[in-house]
Amino acid sequence: MDEASGLQNFLAIVTKPDNIPIVGMLILVIFFSWIGLRQAFKNDQLVEQGKEDQIPNEMWK
């Protein structure tokens, strides 16, 4: 009798109907965190260049 690998166990847990919304929420949190951090780094670069007045213009693009 072969034991399931760690990946197979993980996929079995993740694909259960009760856990699918949690996985979707985790993906959304990671995606929107990435977007927010990317924008924050762009704003930091503008501040370092002395262009603070351009930050609102960049946010509305």
Query: Which amino acid is located at 23 in the chain?
Result: V
pTM of the full predicted structure? 0.70
Give 1's DSSP letter.
-
Phi, psi angle pair for 52, to nearest 5°: -60, -30
Domain ranges within the chain, ordered by starting residue: 6-59
User: Mean pLDDT, to the nearest integer, of 41-61?
Assistant: 87
Asked if pLDDT for residue 1 goes beyond 70, the answer is no
User: Mean pLDDT, to the nearest integer, of 22-50?
Assistant: 94
User: Mean pLDDT, to the nearest integer, of 7-20?
Assistant: 92
pLDDT at 56: 85
Q: How far apart are CA 53 and CA 61, in angstroms?
A: 14
Helix, strand or coil for residue 35? helix
Q: Is the dihedral angle over the CA atoms 40, 46, 52, 55 positive or is it negative?
A: negative
